Structure 1
Amino acid sequence: MKKLSNDFSGALRTFAYFMASGSHYMLKNVDYLKIYGSEPSAIEMVFAIFANVIEMDGEGNVLNFTHAQKRATDYLRSYCDPTFKVTPPFEDWEIELYGPPAQGR
C-alpha cells in the first residue's frame, strides 16, 4: 500500500484551510465564502484543479504548490468575477472531474 506523502498532506491541508477561512492571499478582494454551501460545484472544481495540477517527485515532495494554488484560485476568481480571464486558459486535463473509488476500496 502506498500512502500520500506528508508533504502533500501539508499542502492539501494548508490550501483547504485558506480556502475555508476566506483568507487565501491569491483571492484578496474576492468574496468567495458566500458560495460555500450554495454552489458546491464551484468548490468541487477548485479542489479538482488543485489535485490535477499539483506535482510530486518520487519521494512525494510537492514541486509546484504555488502554481497549483494559482490555477485553482484563478478558477474561483473567474467564477466569482466573470470579467476575470484565466491566463493561460485551462486545459482539459486541469478541469477533469474524476469519480470516487469503487465501493469497497
Structure 2
Amino acid sequence: MRLVIRGFLSKAGHRVTLAATGAEACAALGRSCFDLAIIDLLMPDMDGDEVVRRLRHGRSAQAGLPVLMLTAAIDPDSSDRVEACGADMRLHKPFRRDDLLGAIGRLTAGR
C-alpha cells in the first residue's frame, strides 16, 4: 500500500517519505518537517493511533501536523480509535486515487 500511495502522490507532484513501521514513522516525524502525515491505523510494532498520540502530545513543532488516517476497518472501535487519537481525517481502504488526493487537498489547503 505504501508503494501505491507513493506512486499516486509522486505523480501528483508531492515529495514522499515512507516509513514501514510506527517506530520509523515517529523517527521520521521527529527529524523532518512535513506538510501532512498519512498513517495506517494498523502497522507493525505500533499502531497508527499511537503514532498520532505521540505526535500530538510531543513537544515537536510537528504536533499540529494534519494527519490522514488510513484504515481497512469499519467497526465502531476503529472509528473511535481514529477520533480519540487526534487524526484530522479518516479514509477507508480501498480508496480511489481521487479520494486520496481530495483528502490531501482539504487537509493542506491554506498551508
TM-score by shorter chain over 0.5: no
Bigger relative contact order (CA 8 A; separation at least 6)? 1
Q: TM-score, normalised by structure 1?
A: 0.29
- Flag the structure with higher strand content: 2
Q: Which has the larger radius of gyration?
A: 1
Q: TM-score, normalised by structure 2?
A: 0.28
